[in-house]
Structure 1
Amino acid sequence: MSEINQNDSMQYKVDTKEFIKDYWTGRSEEFAKLRKAELKSNKYIRWEKEIKSQLPQKEKLKILDVGCGSGFFSILLAQLGHDVVGIDLTSKMIEHGQKMIENISGKIEFFVMDAEKLDFDAEMFDLVIARNVTWNLPNPKTAYQEWTRVLKKGGVLLNYDAEYAKDHHKQVLPANHAHNKLTKEEEIKCHQIYHMLNISCENRPEWDLKVLDEIGGIKTEIDLKVGERIYQEEDEFYIQVPMFLVKGRKI
Protein backbone atom coordinates (compact mmCIF):
# COMPACT_ATOMS: atom_id res chain seq x y z
CA MET A 1 0.00 0.00 0.00
CA SER A 2 2.26 2.72 -1.32
CA GLU A 3 2.63 5.73 0.99
CA ILE A 4 -0.16 4.40 3.23
CA ASN A 5 0.66 2.55 6.40
CA GLN A 6 -1.48 -0.10 8.05
CA ASN A 7 -2.63 2.23 10.85
CA ASP A 8 -4.00 4.65 8.25
CA SER A 9 -5.83 1.79 6.55
CA MET A 10 -7.47 0.64 9.79
CA GLN A 11 -8.46 4.20 10.67
CA TYR A 12 -10.13 4.92 7.33
CA LYS A 13 -12.03 1.63 7.27
CA VAL A 14 -14.09 2.75 10.29
CA ASP A 15 -16.55 4.51 7.97
CA THR A 16 -15.75 3.87 4.33
CA LYS A 17 -18.62 5.85 2.86
CA GLU A 18 -17.91 8.93 4.96
CA PHE A 19 -14.27 8.75 3.94
CA ILE A 20 -15.22 8.63 0.26
CA LYS A 21 -17.71 11.48 0.69
CA ASP A 22 -15.05 13.58 2.44
CA TYR A 23 -12.62 12.94 -0.44
CA TRP A 24 -15.09 14.15 -3.07
CA THR A 25 -16.17 17.10 -0.93
CA GLY A 26 -12.57 18.24 -0.88
CA ARG A 27 -12.29 17.86 -4.64
CA SER A 28 -15.68 19.36 -5.51
CA GLU A 29 -14.53 22.85 -6.52
CA GLU A 30 -11.73 21.82 -8.87
CA PHE A 31 -13.89 18.94 -10.14
CA ALA A 32 -16.67 21.40 -11.06
CA LYS A 33 -14.16 23.58 -12.93
CA LEU A 34 -13.04 20.54 -14.91
CA ARG A 35 -16.60 19.57 -15.81
CA LYS A 36 -17.36 23.16 -16.84
CA ALA A 37 -14.37 23.04 -19.17
CA GLU A 38 -15.49 19.65 -20.47
CA LEU A 39 -18.87 21.13 -21.45
CA LYS A 40 -16.99 23.39 -23.89
CA SER A 41 -14.59 20.71 -25.16
CA ASN A 42 -14.68 18.24 -28.02
CA LYS A 43 -15.36 15.58 -25.39
CA TYR A 44 -18.88 17.00 -25.06
CA ILE A 45 -19.56 16.38 -28.75
CA ARG A 46 -18.19 12.84 -28.51
CA TRP A 47 -20.17 12.06 -25.37
CA GLU A 48 -23.33 13.44 -26.96
CA LYS A 49 -22.87 11.15 -29.97
CA GLU A 50 -21.97 8.21 -27.73
CA ILE A 51 -24.98 8.53 -25.44
CA LYS A 52 -27.51 9.32 -28.19
CA SER A 53 -26.56 6.04 -29.87
CA GLN A 54 -27.48 4.13 -26.68
CA LEU A 55 -30.74 5.82 -25.68
CA PRO A 56 -34.15 4.12 -25.77
CA GLN A 57 -36.21 5.11 -28.78
CA LYS A 58 -38.49 7.62 -27.12
CA GLU A 59 -38.81 11.37 -27.75
CA LYS A 60 -38.68 12.49 -24.11
CA LEU A 61 -37.06 10.30 -21.48
CA LYS A 62 -37.19 10.38 -17.70
CA ILE A 63 -33.53 9.98 -16.75
CA LEU A 64 -31.65 9.32 -13.52
CA ASP A 65 -28.02 10.49 -13.52
CA VAL A 66 -26.38 8.57 -10.65
CA GLY A 67 -23.33 10.13 -9.02
CA CYS A 68 -23.91 13.18 -11.17
CA GLY A 69 -21.14 15.26 -9.61
CA SER A 70 -21.54 18.81 -10.85
CA GLY A 71 -23.88 17.70 -13.62
CA PHE A 72 -22.03 17.10 -16.90
CA PHE A 73 -24.25 14.22 -18.08
CA SER A 74 -27.34 15.87 -16.60
CA ILE A 75 -26.76 19.01 -18.64
CA LEU A 76 -25.96 17.09 -21.82
CA LEU A 77 -29.13 15.00 -21.55
CA ALA A 78 -31.38 17.92 -20.59
CA GLN A 79 -30.17 19.86 -23.60
CA LEU A 80 -31.22 16.90 -25.74
CA GLY A 81 -34.76 17.52 -24.49
CA HIS A 82 -35.06 14.95 -21.70
CA ASP A 83 -36.19 15.34 -18.08
CA VAL A 84 -33.23 14.62 -15.81
CA VAL A 85 -32.82 13.89 -12.11
CA GLY A 86 -29.22 14.03 -10.90
CA ILE A 87 -28.16 12.59 -7.55
CA ASP A 88 -24.88 12.66 -5.67
CA LEU A 89 -23.81 11.68 -2.16
CA THR A 90 -21.77 14.87 -1.83
CA SER A 91 -23.77 18.02 -1.10
CA LYS A 92 -20.94 20.25 -2.34
CA MET A 93 -21.11 18.57 -5.75
CA ILE A 94 -24.84 19.27 -5.89
CA GLU A 95 -24.22 22.92 -4.94
CA HIS A 96 -21.81 23.25 -7.85
CA GLY A 97 -24.29 21.49 -10.12
CA GLN A 98 -27.00 24.00 -9.22
CA LYS A 99 -24.66 26.81 -10.25
CA MET A 100 -23.75 25.02 -13.49
CA ILE A 101 -27.38 24.82 -14.66
CA GLU A 102 -28.33 28.45 -13.95
CA ASN A 103 -28.10 29.35 -17.65
CA ILE A 104 -28.93 25.93 -19.07
CA SER A 105 -32.15 25.14 -20.91
CA GLY A 106 -33.95 21.92 -20.07
CA LYS A 107 -35.42 20.32 -16.97
CA ILE A 108 -32.89 19.20 -14.33
CA GLU A 109 -33.47 18.44 -10.67
CA PHE A 110 -30.60 17.71 -8.28
CA PHE A 111 -30.79 15.82 -4.99
CA VAL A 112 -28.28 14.72 -2.37
CA MET A 113 -28.78 10.95 -2.31
CA ASP A 114 -26.92 7.68 -1.84
CA ALA A 115 -26.45 5.69 -5.07
CA GLU A 116 -26.85 2.53 -3.02
CA LYS A 117 -30.15 3.59 -1.45
CA LEU A 118 -32.39 5.46 -3.86
CA ASP A 119 -35.38 7.40 -2.58
CA PHE A 120 -37.50 6.63 -5.66
CA ASP A 121 -40.37 4.28 -6.38
CA ALA A 122 -39.83 1.26 -8.61
CA GLU A 123 -39.95 1.66 -12.40
CA MET A 124 -39.74 5.45 -12.48
CA PHE A 125 -37.04 6.00 -15.11
CA ASP A 126 -36.53 5.23 -18.80
CA LEU A 127 -32.77 5.53 -18.39
CA VAL A 128 -30.29 5.23 -15.53
CA ILE A 129 -26.82 6.50 -16.38
CA ALA A 130 -23.56 6.70 -14.43
CA ARG A 131 -19.96 7.62 -15.16
CA ASN A 132 -17.00 6.73 -12.95
CA VAL A 133 -19.25 5.85 -10.02
CA THR A 134 -19.16 2.09 -9.46
CA TRP A 135 -15.42 1.91 -8.77
CA ASN A 136 -15.81 3.93 -5.57
CA LEU A 137 -18.91 2.29 -4.09
CA PRO A 138 -18.62 0.18 -0.93
CA ASN A 139 -21.64 -1.94 -1.96
CA PRO A 140 -21.80 -1.92 -5.77
CA LYS A 141 -24.06 -4.97 -6.01
CA THR A 142 -26.63 -3.16 -3.87
CA ALA A 143 -26.28 -0.16 -6.17
CA TYR A 144 -26.98 -2.30 -9.23
CA GLN A 145 -30.06 -3.72 -7.50
CA GLU A 146 -31.32 -0.20 -6.84
CA TRP A 147 -30.54 1.10 -10.33
CA THR A 148 -32.41 -1.76 -11.98
CA ARG A 149 -35.28 -1.48 -9.50
CA VAL A 150 -36.08 2.08 -10.54
CA LEU A 151 -35.90 1.29 -14.27
CA LYS A 152 -39.13 0.90 -16.20
CA LYS A 153 -39.70 -2.25 -18.24
CA GLY A 154 -37.75 -1.71 -21.43
CA GLY A 155 -35.64 0.92 -19.70
CA VAL A 156 -31.89 1.11 -20.23
CA LEU A 157 -28.94 1.18 -17.82
CA LEU A 158 -25.72 2.80 -19.06
CA ASN A 159 -22.80 2.44 -16.67
CA TYR A 160 -19.50 3.91 -17.90
CA ASP A 161 -16.54 2.98 -15.72
CA ALA A 162 -12.95 1.70 -15.69
CA GLU A 163 -10.62 -0.35 -13.50
CA TYR A 164 -8.91 2.66 -11.99
CA ALA A 165 -7.45 0.70 -9.08
CA LYS A 166 -5.53 -1.76 -11.26
CA ASP A 167 -1.82 -0.81 -11.43
CA HIS A 168 -2.66 2.76 -10.39
CA HIS A 169 0.86 3.31 -9.02
CA LYS A 170 2.32 2.57 -12.46
CA GLN A 171 0.16 4.98 -14.42
CA VAL A 172 1.95 7.91 -16.05
CA LEU A 173 -0.39 10.79 -16.83
CA PRO A 174 0.11 13.75 -19.20
CA ALA A 175 1.79 16.76 -17.57
CA ASN A 176 -1.39 18.87 -17.80
CA HIS A 177 -3.70 16.14 -16.49
CA ALA A 178 -6.21 17.13 -13.81
CA HIS A 179 -4.98 14.44 -11.40
CA ASN A 180 -1.54 16.00 -11.41
CA LYS A 181 -3.13 18.99 -9.67
CA LEU A 182 -4.19 16.92 -6.66
CA THR A 183 -2.58 17.71 -3.35
CA LYS A 184 -0.49 14.95 -1.81
CA GLU A 185 -3.23 14.36 0.75
CA GLU A 186 -5.87 14.01 -1.99
CA GLU A 187 -3.65 11.61 -3.92
CA ILE A 188 -3.15 9.41 -0.86
CA LYS A 189 -6.88 9.45 -0.10
CA CYS A 190 -7.68 8.42 -3.68
CA HIS A 191 -5.26 5.51 -3.46
CA GLN A 192 -6.71 4.57 -0.08
CA ILE A 193 -10.16 4.30 -1.65
CA TYR A 194 -8.73 1.82 -4.15
CA HIS A 195 -7.33 -0.29 -1.31
CA MET A 196 -10.38 -0.20 0.93
CA LEU A 197 -12.99 -1.35 -1.62
CA ASN A 198 -13.53 -4.95 -2.67
CA ILE A 199 -14.52 -3.96 -6.21
CA SER A 200 -10.89 -2.94 -6.82
CA CYS A 201 -9.96 -6.65 -6.77
CA GLU A 202 -12.62 -7.75 -9.26
CA ASN A 203 -12.09 -8.38 -12.95
CA ARG A 204 -14.33 -5.93 -14.68
CA PRO A 205 -16.61 -5.62 -16.54
CA GLU A 206 -17.02 -9.41 -16.27
CA TRP A 207 -17.86 -8.97 -12.59
CA ASP A 208 -20.57 -6.44 -13.46
CA LEU A 209 -22.21 -8.81 -15.93
CA LYS A 210 -22.21 -11.59 -13.34
CA VAL A 211 -23.87 -9.32 -10.77
CA LEU A 212 -26.57 -8.20 -13.19
CA ASP A 213 -27.17 -11.81 -14.20
CA GLU A 214 -27.66 -12.72 -10.53
CA ILE A 215 -30.12 -9.84 -10.08
CA GLY A 216 -32.05 -11.09 -13.09
CA GLY A 217 -34.50 -9.45 -15.47
CA ILE A 218 -31.78 -7.55 -17.31
CA LYS A 219 -30.43 -8.24 -20.80
CA THR A 220 -26.79 -7.15 -20.73
CA GLU A 221 -23.95 -6.33 -23.07
CA ILE A 222 -20.55 -4.67 -22.76
CA ASP A 223 -18.54 -2.28 -24.90
CA LEU A 224 -14.79 -2.16 -24.26
CA LYS A 225 -14.00 0.58 -26.78
CA VAL A 226 -15.62 3.62 -25.18
CA GLY A 227 -12.33 5.13 -24.01
CA GLU A 228 -10.86 4.92 -27.50
CA ARG A 229 -13.78 6.87 -28.91
CA ILE A 230 -13.95 9.58 -26.24
CA TYR A 231 -10.42 10.14 -24.92
CA GLN A 232 -8.41 10.54 -28.10
CA GLU A 233 -6.09 13.29 -26.88
CA GLU A 234 -3.74 13.08 -23.92
CA ASP A 235 -5.07 16.20 -22.25
CA GLU A 236 -6.42 17.20 -18.83
CA PHE A 237 -9.43 14.90 -19.27
CA TYR A 238 -7.44 11.88 -20.47
CA ILE A 239 -8.21 8.46 -18.96
CA GLN A 240 -5.29 6.09 -19.35
CA VAL A 241 -7.07 2.90 -18.32
CA PRO A 242 -9.66 1.57 -20.79
CA MET A 243 -13.15 2.87 -20.10
CA PHE A 244 -15.95 0.36 -20.71
CA LEU A 245 -19.73 0.45 -20.90
CA VAL A 246 -21.97 -1.99 -19.05
CA LYS A 247 -25.38 -1.74 -20.73
CA GLY A 248 -28.54 -3.39 -19.50
CA ARG A 249 -32.11 -3.40 -20.75
CA LYS A 250 -34.86 -4.33 -18.31
CA ILE A 251 -37.05 -7.10 -19.66
Structure 2
Amino acid sequence: MTTLHHNLSLKDEIRDYWSMRSETFDSQPGHEIFSGEERQAWLSLFSRHLGPASAGGGRALDLASGTGVISLLLAELGYGVTGLDLSEAMLARARAKTAGKPIKLYAGDAEDTLEAADSYDVVATRHLVWTLPDPPAAFREWFRVLKPGGRVGIVDADMTNPRPGNGRALRVLAKLARRLSTPKPPAAHAATHEEIVSRVYFSQGCRPEEIARLLAEAGFVDVAIDRDLGAIHRAQGRFMPLYQRLERASQDRFMVSARKPG
Protein backbone atom coordinates (compact mmCIF):
# COMPACT_ATOMS: atom_id res chain seq x y z
CA MET A 1 0.00 0.00 0.00
CA THR A 2 2.86 2.39 0.79
CA THR A 3 4.38 1.82 -2.66
CA LEU A 4 1.05 2.52 -4.38
CA HIS A 5 0.63 5.86 -2.61
CA HIS A 6 4.23 6.75 -3.34
CA ASN A 7 3.76 6.06 -7.05
CA LEU A 8 0.51 7.98 -7.25
CA SER A 9 2.19 10.96 -5.61
CA LEU A 10 5.13 10.74 -7.99
CA LYS A 11 2.82 10.56 -10.99
CA ASP A 12 1.02 13.67 -9.75
CA GLU A 13 4.35 15.46 -9.57
CA ILE A 14 5.32 14.29 -13.05
CA ARG A 15 1.95 15.46 -14.40
CA ASP A 16 2.34 18.86 -12.74
CA TYR A 17 5.93 19.23 -13.96
CA TRP A 18 5.01 18.65 -17.60
CA SER A 19 1.90 20.80 -17.30
CA MET A 20 4.21 23.59 -16.14
CA ARG A 21 6.48 22.92 -19.13
CA SER A 22 3.61 22.77 -21.64
CA GLU A 23 3.55 26.50 -22.37
CA THR A 24 7.06 26.48 -23.85
CA PHE A 25 7.34 22.82 -24.87
CA ASP A 26 6.81 23.38 -28.60
CA SER A 27 9.34 26.22 -28.70
CA GLN A 28 12.24 23.86 -27.95
CA PRO A 29 14.17 21.87 -30.57
CA GLY A 30 14.14 18.21 -29.59
CA HIS A 31 10.49 18.48 -28.57
CA GLU A 32 8.70 20.01 -31.56
CA ILE A 33 9.82 19.27 -35.12
CA PHE A 34 11.35 22.35 -36.76
CA SER A 35 12.14 21.21 -40.30
CA GLY A 36 11.00 18.90 -43.06
CA GLU A 37 14.36 17.17 -42.81
CA GLU A 38 13.74 16.24 -39.18
CA ARG A 39 10.19 15.16 -39.91
CA GLN A 40 11.37 12.80 -42.65
CA ALA A 41 14.03 11.38 -40.33
CA TRP A 42 11.40 10.63 -37.68
CA LEU A 43 9.09 9.04 -40.26
CA SER A 44 11.97 6.88 -41.48
CA LEU A 45 12.79 5.74 -37.93
CA PHE A 46 9.20 4.80 -37.07
CA SER A 47 8.64 3.17 -40.44
CA ARG A 48 11.82 1.12 -39.99
CA HIS A 49 10.77 -0.24 -36.60
CA LEU A 50 6.98 -0.17 -36.65
CA GLY A 51 6.18 -0.16 -40.35
CA PRO A 52 3.44 1.86 -42.04
CA ALA A 53 -0.16 0.94 -41.39
CA SER A 54 -1.57 -1.89 -43.46
CA ALA A 55 -3.67 -1.10 -46.52
CA GLY A 56 -6.80 -1.53 -44.42
CA GLY A 57 -5.51 0.87 -41.78
CA GLY A 58 -4.16 0.17 -38.33
CA ARG A 59 -4.42 1.43 -34.77
CA ALA A 60 -1.58 3.11 -32.85
CA LEU A 61 -1.40 4.04 -29.18
CA ASP A 62 0.84 7.04 -28.45
CA LEU A 63 1.68 7.08 -24.74
CA ALA A 64 2.73 10.33 -23.03
CA SER A 65 1.55 11.96 -26.25
CA GLY A 66 2.40 15.47 -25.02
CA THR A 67 1.61 18.11 -27.63
CA GLY A 68 0.89 15.51 -30.30
CA VAL A 69 4.21 15.44 -32.17
CA ILE A 70 4.48 11.64 -32.37
CA SER A 71 0.72 11.22 -32.86
CA LEU A 72 0.95 13.33 -36.02
CA LEU A 73 3.83 11.22 -37.35
CA LEU A 74 1.92 7.99 -36.71
CA ALA A 75 -1.13 9.43 -38.46
CA GLU A 76 1.07 10.31 -41.44
CA LEU A 77 2.14 6.65 -41.58
CA GLY A 78 -1.53 5.74 -41.97
CA TYR A 79 -2.54 4.85 -38.41
CA GLY A 80 -5.64 5.88 -36.55
CA VAL A 81 -4.09 7.18 -33.35
CA THR A 82 -5.14 7.27 -29.71
CA GLY A 83 -2.95 9.52 -27.58
CA LEU A 84 -2.84 9.33 -23.78
CA ASP A 85 -1.17 11.84 -21.48
CA LEU A 86 -1.39 12.64 -17.77
CA SER A 87 -1.30 16.40 -18.40
CA GLU A 88 -4.47 18.18 -19.49
CA ALA A 89 -2.35 21.23 -20.34
CA MET A 90 -0.34 19.16 -22.83
CA LEU A 91 -3.53 17.62 -24.22
CA ALA A 92 -5.09 21.03 -24.81
CA ARG A 93 -2.14 22.03 -26.99
CA ALA A 94 -2.19 18.68 -28.76
CA ARG A 95 -5.89 18.97 -29.59
CA ALA A 96 -5.31 22.35 -31.24
CA LYS A 97 -2.49 20.92 -33.37
CA THR A 98 -4.21 17.68 -34.39
CA ALA A 99 -7.68 18.97 -35.25
CA GLY A 100 -9.00 17.26 -38.36
CA LYS A 101 -6.53 14.37 -38.13
CA PRO A 102 -7.42 10.73 -37.30
CA ILE A 103 -6.21 11.28 -33.73
CA LYS A 104 -8.15 10.96 -30.48
CA LEU A 105 -6.60 12.33 -27.30
CA TYR A 106 -7.48 11.45 -23.71
CA ALA A 107 -6.13 11.87 -20.21
CA GLY A 108 -4.62 8.53 -19.25
CA ASP A 109 -1.89 6.61 -17.49
CA ALA A 110 0.74 4.72 -19.52
CA GLU A 111 1.00 2.07 -16.78
CA ASP A 112 -2.76 1.44 -16.74
CA THR A 113 -4.25 2.54 -20.06
CA LEU A 114 -7.77 1.11 -19.54
CA GLU A 115 -7.68 0.17 -23.25
CA ALA A 116 -9.06 -3.16 -24.48
CA ALA A 117 -6.75 -6.17 -24.79
CA ASP A 118 -5.41 -7.08 -28.25
CA SER A 119 -6.66 -3.80 -29.73
CA TYR A 120 -3.60 -1.97 -31.15
CA ASP A 121 -1.17 -2.70 -33.94
CA VAL A 122 1.45 -0.33 -32.54
CA VAL A 123 2.38 1.20 -29.19
CA ALA A 124 4.80 4.14 -29.40
CA THR A 125 6.46 6.37 -26.82
CA ARG A 126 9.00 9.19 -26.86
CA HIS A 127 10.80 10.32 -23.71
CA LEU A 128 8.37 8.48 -21.44
CA VAL A 129 10.13 5.39 -20.13
CA TRP A 130 12.75 7.28 -18.08
CA THR A 131 9.86 8.80 -16.04
CA LEU A 132 8.00 5.56 -15.28
CA PRO A 133 7.72 4.53 -11.61
CA ASP A 134 7.11 0.90 -12.65
CA PRO A 135 8.37 0.00 -16.17
CA PRO A 136 7.80 -3.77 -15.73
CA ALA A 137 4.10 -3.12 -15.07
CA ALA A 138 3.94 -0.69 -17.99
CA PHE A 139 5.51 -3.17 -20.41
CA ARG A 140 3.09 -5.90 -19.33
CA GLU A 141 0.24 -3.45 -19.97
CA TRP A 142 1.55 -2.58 -23.43
CA PHE A 143 1.90 -6.27 -24.23
CA ARG A 144 -1.73 -6.74 -23.17
CA VAL A 145 -3.18 -3.99 -25.40
CA LEU A 146 -1.19 -4.99 -28.51
CA LYS A 147 -2.66 -7.38 -31.02
CA PRO A 148 -0.70 -10.59 -31.63
CA GLY A 149 2.15 -9.58 -33.92
CA GLY A 150 1.86 -5.93 -32.84
CA ARG A 151 4.97 -3.85 -32.27
CA VAL A 152 6.20 -1.46 -29.59
CA GLY A 153 8.63 1.39 -30.28
CA ILE A 154 10.36 3.27 -27.45
CA VAL A 155 12.41 6.40 -28.15
CA ASP A 156 14.33 7.57 -25.10
CA ALA A 157 17.69 8.70 -23.74
CA ASP A 158 20.05 7.95 -20.89
CA MET A 159 20.78 11.47 -19.66
CA THR A 160 22.69 10.23 -16.60
CA ASN A 161 25.46 8.11 -18.10
CA PRO A 162 27.60 9.22 -21.07
CA ARG A 163 27.03 7.31 -24.26
CA PRO A 164 29.41 4.51 -25.26
CA GLY A 165 32.53 5.73 -27.03
CA ASN A 166 33.30 9.45 -26.78
CA GLY A 167 30.35 10.43 -24.59
CA ARG A 168 32.49 11.29 -21.56
CA ALA A 169 34.73 13.68 -23.54
CA LEU A 170 31.71 15.32 -25.16
CA ARG A 171 30.16 15.86 -21.73
CA VAL A 172 33.28 17.76 -20.60
CA LEU A 173 33.15 19.93 -23.72
CA ALA A 174 29.42 20.55 -23.19
CA LYS A 175 30.02 21.81 -19.64
CA LEU A 176 32.71 24.17 -20.90
CA ALA A 177 30.49 25.44 -23.72
CA ARG A 178 27.63 25.99 -21.28
CA ARG A 179 29.86 28.09 -18.99
CA LEU A 180 31.03 30.18 -21.94
CA SER A 181 27.57 30.56 -23.46
CA THR A 182 26.15 34.07 -23.86
CA PRO A 183 23.42 34.58 -22.85
CA LYS A 184 23.56 31.99 -20.10
CA PRO A 185 21.25 28.98 -20.68
CA PRO A 186 18.18 28.94 -18.42
CA ALA A 187 18.20 26.71 -15.36
CA ALA A 188 14.46 26.96 -14.67
CA HIS A 189 12.78 23.83 -13.33
CA ALA A 190 16.14 22.02 -12.99
CA ALA A 191 15.72 21.27 -9.29
CA THR A 192 12.21 19.85 -9.81
CA HIS A 193 13.45 17.72 -12.69
CA GLU A 194 16.35 16.32 -10.65
CA GLU A 195 14.10 15.54 -7.68
CA ILE A 196 11.71 13.58 -9.90
CA VAL A 197 14.57 11.71 -11.58
CA SER A 198 15.90 10.64 -8.17
CA ARG A 199 12.68 8.71 -7.48
CA VAL A 200 11.88 6.91 -10.73
CA TYR A 201 12.89 3.35 -11.65
CA PHE A 202 15.66 4.56 -13.96
CA SER A 203 17.14 6.99 -11.43
CA GLN A 204 20.63 5.68 -12.25
CA GLY A 205 20.14 6.10 -15.97
CA CYS A 206 17.70 4.89 -18.61
CA ARG A 207 19.87 2.19 -20.17
CA PRO A 208 18.49 0.65 -23.38
CA GLU A 209 19.85 -2.77 -22.43
CA GLU A 210 17.69 -2.74 -19.29
CA ILE A 211 14.65 -1.67 -21.29
CA ALA A 212 15.32 -4.55 -23.69
CA ARG A 213 15.63 -7.00 -20.79
CA LEU A 214 12.36 -5.86 -19.25
CA LEU A 215 10.54 -6.07 -22.60
CA ALA A 216 11.71 -9.65 -23.01
CA GLU A 217 10.62 -10.40 -19.45
CA ALA A 218 7.14 -9.05 -20.31
CA GLY A 219 6.89 -11.52 -23.20
CA PHE A 220 8.10 -9.48 -26.19
CA VAL A 221 10.34 -11.01 -28.86
CA ASP A 222 12.60 -9.62 -31.61
CA VAL A 223 13.83 -6.96 -29.20
CA ALA A 224 16.25 -4.56 -30.93
CA ILE A 225 18.24 -1.50 -29.82
CA ASP A 226 18.83 1.14 -32.48
CA ARG A 227 21.27 3.99 -31.75
CA ASP A 228 21.31 5.19 -35.38
CA LEU A 229 19.36 8.40 -34.78
CA GLY A 230 22.00 10.64 -36.36
CA ALA A 231 19.74 12.09 -39.05
CA ILE A 232 17.28 13.28 -36.40
CA HIS A 233 20.01 14.74 -34.20
CA ARG A 234 21.71 16.57 -37.08
CA ALA A 235 18.41 18.15 -38.11
CA GLN A 236 17.62 19.18 -34.53
CA GLY A 237 21.14 20.51 -33.96
CA ARG A 238 20.72 23.22 -36.58
CA PHE A 239 18.34 24.95 -34.18
CA MET A 240 20.37 24.41 -30.97
CA PRO A 241 23.21 26.36 -29.36
CA LEU A 242 26.59 24.62 -29.25
CA TYR A 243 26.37 23.60 -25.58
CA GLN A 244 23.03 21.84 -26.18
CA ARG A 245 24.29 20.03 -29.28
CA LEU A 246 27.28 18.77 -27.27
CA GLU A 247 25.11 17.77 -24.30
CA ARG A 248 22.79 15.74 -26.49
CA ALA A 249 25.69 14.19 -28.41
CA SER A 250 27.16 13.01 -25.09
CA GLN A 251 23.95 11.20 -24.13
CA ASP A 252 22.97 7.67 -25.11
CA ARG A 253 19.91 8.29 -27.34
CA PHE A 254 18.14 5.32 -28.86
CA MET A 255 15.04 3.50 -30.00
CA VAL A 256 14.13 0.08 -28.62
CA SER A 257 11.58 -1.93 -30.57
CA ALA A 258 9.98 -5.33 -30.01
CA ARG A 259 7.11 -7.54 -31.15
CA LYS A 260 4.30 -9.36 -29.40
CA PRO A 261 4.35 -13.00 -30.59
CA GLY A 262 1.55 -14.14 -32.84
Q: TM-score, normalised by structure 2?
A: 0.79
Q: Would you say 1:74 and 2:71 are equivalent positions?
A: yes
Q: Secondary structure at the match of 2:198?
A: helix
CA distance in 1, matches of 2:70, 2:142: 16
Instruction: Name the CA shift for 1:180/1:117 in 2 (closer, same or farther; >3 Å).
Output: farther
Q: Would you say 1:16 and 2:31 are equivalent positions?
A: no
Instruction: Name the CA shift for 1:180/1:64 in 2 (closer, same or farther; >3 Å).
Output: farther
Q: CA deviation at 1:73?
A: 0.8
CA distance in 1, matches of 2:198, 2:122: 31
The residue aligned with 2:88 is: 91
Q: Would you say 1:165 and 2:156 are equivalent positions?
A: no
Percent sequence identity over aligned pairs = 27
Partners of 1:63 and 1:125 within 8 A in 2: yes
CA distance in 1, matches of 2:16, 2:216: 33
Partners of 2:80 and 2:103 within 8 A in 1: yes
Once the two structures are overlaid, the 10-residue window that deviates more, 205-214 or 107-116, is 205-214
Q: Would you say 1:210 and 2:213 are equivalent positions?
A: yes
CA distance in 2, matches of 1:165, 1:94: 28
The residue aligned with 2:128 is: 133
CA distance in 1, matches of 2:120, 2:185: 37
Partners of 1:163 and 1:200 within 8 A in 2: no
Alignment deviations for residues 141-174 of structure 1 (CA, whole Å, 9 cap, x no partner): 1111111111111111000111123369965477
Out of 124, 147, 151, the residue aligned to residue 156 of structure 1 is: 151
Partners of 2:130 and 2:201 within 8 A in 1: no
Count, aligned residues: 234
Partners of 1:224 and 1:244 within 8 A in 2: yes
Name stretches of at least 5 consecutive residues in structure 2 with no aligned partner. 1-5, 163-167
The residue aligned with 2:259 is: 249
Out of 213, 230, 233, the residue aligned to residue 231 of structure 1 is: 233
Q: Secondary structure at the match of 2:148?
A: strand
For 1:16, the aligned partner's letter is: L
CA distance in 2, matches of 1:127, 1:32: 25
Q: TM-score, normalised by structure 1?
A: 0.82
CA distance in 2, matches of 1:13, 1:107: 33
Out of 122, 141, 146, the residue aligned to residue 146 of structure 1 is: 141
Superposition CA RMSD, Å: 2.9
Q: CA deviation at 1:14?
A: 8.9
Partners of 2:143 and 2:219 within 8 A in 1: no
